[in-house]
Structure 1
Amino acid sequence: MSRLSQREDAMAQSVGEALITLLERRGVDVVFGIPGVHTVEMYRGLDASTIRHITPRHELSAGFMADGYARATGRPGVCLLITGPGVTNAITAMAQARADSVPMLVISGVNRAETFGQEEGYLHELPDQGALMRQVAILSQTLFAPEDLPKVVDRAFAAMWAGRPGPVHIEVPLDVMHAPVALPEAGLVEVPKQAAGADAVAGAAEVLAQAKRPLILAGGGAVGAAEALVGLAEALDAPVVNTTNGRGILGGHPLRVPASPSSAPIRQMMAEADVILAVGTQFGPTDYDMYGDGGMPDLAHVIRIDCDAVQVTRGLIPDQAIIADAGCAVAALASALPGPLADRGGVARAAAARQAAFDALDLRHQSYVGVMDTIRAALPGARIVGDSTQVIYAGNMYADIDQPRGWFNAATGYGALGYAAPAAIGAALGDPQTPVVCLTGDGGLQFSIAELGSAVDEGVPVIFLVWNNNGYQEIEQYMIDKVITPVGVTPSAPDFVAVAQAYGMAGEALDGLDGLSDALRRAQAAGGPYLIDLRVD
């Protein structure tokens, strides 16, 4: 009998132990956290479980690691955090996950319920931790009674999948954490994927079948529907424009358009389309008006697919809406289309849009796109995880990524710095078969530079590529453009290679882009974490 079975046969466990058992039942295989006196009872359960525990250097990184894990795998990233500073440190990561619809489960301790709001000086005390967390979590719940544990966990997983995904929080008071509880043998409460309504699908299929110049916009919510979306795009002969979080959908396909809807040529393409099918995209400004110029065109007819009815009321109001899981809706649409449709010139339109979007970039940004091309050529199939830095901004405008989940960063939505290093580690732990390149700036890396040590501890073969331009050069240029004397944009950087080596990580420095391909291949051949300090002007 396995240790898990032995525990389940026992009369009772502590709530902390039982919580880990329920996570195991849910298929959780990795958790991120730093133990403390408010969470150690859960660690009693971890010791006997199959779940791998990863210790970052900071709770902010625990959240970003969980985010990267979730984006790479499509499964929730899970954090175990102490009350007070543990959860407040992770709030930034939760806000990023909420902005980008990333499923994340944050489980924390909290002081005994009778102390709530008393402010008598208990360790890690907050006036109302749950209220604070409800500002960033799509659901925050307190476990007051041990016997409620299974339904609280079921509710947490349902909240992450029933509508728009995002961060969910469970807090367990210290006295409840240690209380005994007997878990029922009943199976898990599973939330099925929301099917598309027949009338909504039929109406949308009729409009799409009659379209002469259809266009598909694919956002982050379409990543799980990538395979079905290929078939629908081919049936409609419709180009597919990827937002930042949808980049890589239709990777390598002649109908792909790996460019931002903020690009003038892509906006023109949208304006010329007679029907637009928008799948899992928020129509938020960081995707559709990246530079705040207000140039979003009027659109002829928009059909939105979204898993959240409320979300359809935000941003662009569609002419038609399908409220359903993206994969279910896309498959249903493809089945509802009448026989072979006429050639709509989709491949030629997509090719012209790709070229026009690239040509619209200035020479500096085209050179940055070349960096992404160099990475892809040197490391085929690699996933690029980015921070808010010059080359990532350029890639969000145009980057021809070859796979879904192959490109993500924190330069959209909430826009947090320090994301790339821990998120890349989380992605590598979640999907160890896919090479990972962490593309971060010298400023952004210093937010989470200690996570180089976490990469060494876990032996993850992440390649840390530091875009070292001696400060916050993107902000410096913005200030110059606004006729503001640059102030505060030149923080000094350490010798990154020396820091990596101090943690036991191999690394090298490059002056300029010459030799980058060979350096990337050396990094991959090293078989472990590796840092390349790419010094650029």
Structure 2
Amino acid sequence: MTTFATHIVQVLEDFGCTKAFGVSGGYVFPLWHSLESSEIQVYHCRSEGGATFSAMEHSLHTDTPAAVFVTSGPGLTNALTALRSARADGAKVILLSAITTETEQDPTQMQETSPSFVKAVTGESPQLPFSRSFVMRNHHDFKKLRNELETLCSGKSNTLGVFLSQKTQLSSITVDKNLCQNRIVSSPSDPNLPHWIQMIRSKLQQRKFVIWAGYGAKRSANHLLELAEAYETPVMTTPRAKGVFPEAHPLSWGCTGIGGNIEGDVQDAGSDWGVIVLGSRLEDMSSSLIQLGWNEREIIAVTNEPQRIKRNLPSNALIIETDIVALLSGLAGAVNAPKLPKFSLKPYSVLREKASSDGIHPVSVMSAVQKIAVDKHGYSVIADIGNTLCWTTRYLKFNIPGVFRVSTHDATMTHAACGAVGIGSNNTPVIAIVGDGAMIMQNEVSTAVQHQLPIIWLVMNDSRYNMCEQGFNIDGAKVPDCSIPLVDFAKYGAALGARGLSVEVDEDIDEALHRAISWKSPTVIDVRIDGRIPAPLGSRLKALPS
């Protein structure tokens, strides 16, 4: 017998969903059981938020849809913060949950969730967790499910919520085979694309523009490199786009935003230099909003989200709504010169800084990560929010796209501490660089242990919420207590079933990384850093109220 629950899972398989992350519960038991009985690999996580961050990172890492299953009430609400981040970052996430009652006039159910609540958390606003959602009640809704999944997989929406009562989950269904054929959805081509290609090509030929690349340009990294070299155009990136253009390239101006390290500062380039923005919304943490002062500079922004970038640009900017992949492909095809590399990547290493009696210098930690994890062993890196993001953005460099991950829209703590499971679930070795505050708040170490994933958690342990303490410790202001009692994260990791290593002196960092990498299993490295050293927050503080 085919039930609603089993057929939903079959439809997910049809659309390329291979992994599901979640936490079980009574109201979602039939869906959970059907997932476990399918070809989809199920990761039963320790928190709904952690499961959703994991699904988000798996989706972004593989460019495939990922499922999340949570029960109604608190199971659902626990996932909403991570869903908002997943939506903002463009992950293709399908959340499966339950309604307990059709109307709020019915007798109150435990963990109550009604269609009106689902509607309230769905809409066009990026501040809502769901792009689209609906409640399934009968077999006709499977056509809608397929249509919504086609929209999701085409990139026209991100987070999809699918809700149905436990009774409906268990109801039998006769499958209409006419509905089992997936359509191929293609985005309509932009009739103005040839004009935009010619216009931007003429701008690049002037040799007086800098390209500002965002995460939306990730799929066109090769073409971006061809264009930059052909027109000798400098490129700077947002934190999420690190590696979309090789950071060791002579034409790289570095990274903007929080922790930014722009070597060829566009601020000093003069107003006759223009800027071409590719695939970024230029939000606060990606840009520090430096562009709002460029009223005399020519700005061209290419995006598929014109309304979301418009608010972050001065009125003189030209916003072009078109497909970046098609645009850059056309621009690269119009290059007449031989497409041979003109430049060699520059050698790069992070020089260590002297440790103190209060701990290891954070720059020395970055030095070891760059040398051993990134350059020697090709590890992916995912960084949590806080000072760890500042240190990684400023000092780590990447020459290929997709190996550095950070989520800056909501800047949600624990994103990396949990999301590393989504990357590691593909047998991709990854190092999560997290703060002690994030690691205590939430993590999925136990889930990684259950599946023996190749993940290293490197905890920058300074026993405090240090971004808050440093960020507001200005002009002698008295900052409220930001301290955290010292946690031995090596023992904490071991208590969760992982391997644990402690690093208290600079000389032990390399050995700890080598050992953790050789194990290829979940490992927590507790690094005692000197919390007095100011993190490179850059212009982030200027955006905060005094």
Q: Call closer, same or farther: CA 1:38–1:119 in 2, change over 3 Å.
A: same
* Residue 484 of structure 1, CA deviation: 3.5
Q: Is the 8 A contact 1:79 1:107 kept in 2?
A: yes
Distance 2:272 2:93 in 1: 36
User: What's the CA shift string for 1:417-452, capped at 9, x where partnerless?
Assistant: 11112111111113x2x3200101111101114x21
Q: Where do residues 243-258 of structure 1 align in structure 2 (5 Å cutoff)?
A: 243-251=238-246, 252-258=248-254
User: Aligned letter for 1:426?
Assistant: G
Q: Structure 1 residue aligned with 2:170, among 178, 196, 208?
A: 178
Q: Where do residues 224-235 of structure 1 align in structure 2 (5 Å cutoff)?
A: 224-235=219-230
Distance 2:525 2:91 in 1: 29
Q: Structure 1 residue aligned with 2:27, among 38, 48, 57?
A: 38
Distance 2:269 2:186 in 1: 34
Distance 1:494 1:147 in 2: 54
Tell me which residue corresponds to 2:193: 198
Tell me which residue corresponds to 1:314: 311
Q: Is the 8 A contact 1:267 1:296 kept in 2?
A: no
CA RMSD of aligned residues (A): 3.2
Which SS does the other structure have where 2:425 is aligned? helix
Determine whether 1:122 maps to 2:109.
yes
Distance 1:151 1:460 in 2: 36
Tell me which residue corresponds to 2:430: 436
Distance 1:40 1:461 in 2: 30
Tell me which residue corresponds to 2:517: 524
Q: Which runs of 5+ in 1 are unaligned?
A: 1-11
User: Aligned letter for 2:216?
Assistant: G
Larger CA deviation: 200-209 vs 517-526: 200-209
* Residue 37 of structure 1, CA deviation: 2.0
User: What's the CA shift string for 1:202-256, capped at 9, x where partnerless?
Assistant: 4433432432222111111111222222222222221221101111112344333
User: What's the CA shift string for 1:286-344, capped at 9, x where partnerless?
Assistant: 11117xx887434632222212343353322675444333222210222245x349xxx
Q: Structure 2 residue aligned with 1:452, among 433, 445, 456?
A: 445
Q: Which runs of 5+ in 2 are unaligned?
A: 123-127, 531-546
Which SS does the other structure have where 1:446 is aligned? helix
* Residue 398 of structure 1, CA deviation: 5.0
Q: Call closer, same or farther: CA 1:318–1:172 in 2, change over 3 Å.
A: farther
Q: Structure 1 residue aligned with 2:413, among 411, 417, 420?
A: 417
User: What's the CA shift string for 1:137-177, capped at 9, x where partnerless?
Assistant: 122222232222243243144146444x5322222233322
Q: Is the 8 A contact 1:33 1:54 kept in 2?
A: yes
Q: Call closer, same or farther: CA 1:369–1:204 in 2, change over 3 Å.
A: farther
Larger CA deviation: 152-161 vs 99-108: 152-161
Tell me which residue corresponds to 1:137: 130
Tell me which residue corresponds to 1:242: 237
Which SS does the other structure have where 2:472 is aligned? helix
Q: Is the 8 A contact 2:384 2:406 kept in 1?
A: yes
Distance 2:361 2:206 in 1: 37
Q: Call closer, same or farther: CA 1:250–1:374 in 2, change over 3 Å.
A: same
Distance 1:31 1:334 in 2: 38
Tell me which residue corresponds to 1:73: 62
Distance 1:203 1:401 in 2: 31
Distance 1:50 1:149 in 2: 20
Q: Where do residues 102-501 of structure 1 align in structure 2 (5 Å cutoff)?
A: 102-113=91-102, 116-118=103-105, 120-126=107-113, 128-134=116-122, 135-159=128-152, 161-163=154-156, 166-181=158-173, 182-185=175-178, 186-193=180-187, 195-196=189-190, 197-251=192-246, 252-261=248-257, 265-268=264-267, 271=270, 274-289=273-288, 296-298=293-295, 300-316=297-313, 319-337=317-335, 339-340=336-337, 368=362, 370-379=364-373, 380=376, 381-410=378-407, 412-430=408-426, 432=427, 434-449=428-443, 451-481=444-474, 483-501=476-494
User: What's the CA shift string for 1:243-297, capped at 9, x where partnerless?
Assistant: 011111123443333321566753326655633221110011111117xx88743
Tell me which residue corresponds to 2:125: none
Distance 1:270 1:424 in 2: 39
Distance 1:26 1:442 in 2: 38
Q: Is the 8 A contact 1:304 1:318 kept in 2?
A: no
Distance 2:278 2:135 in 1: 35
Tell me which residue corresponds to 1:28: 17
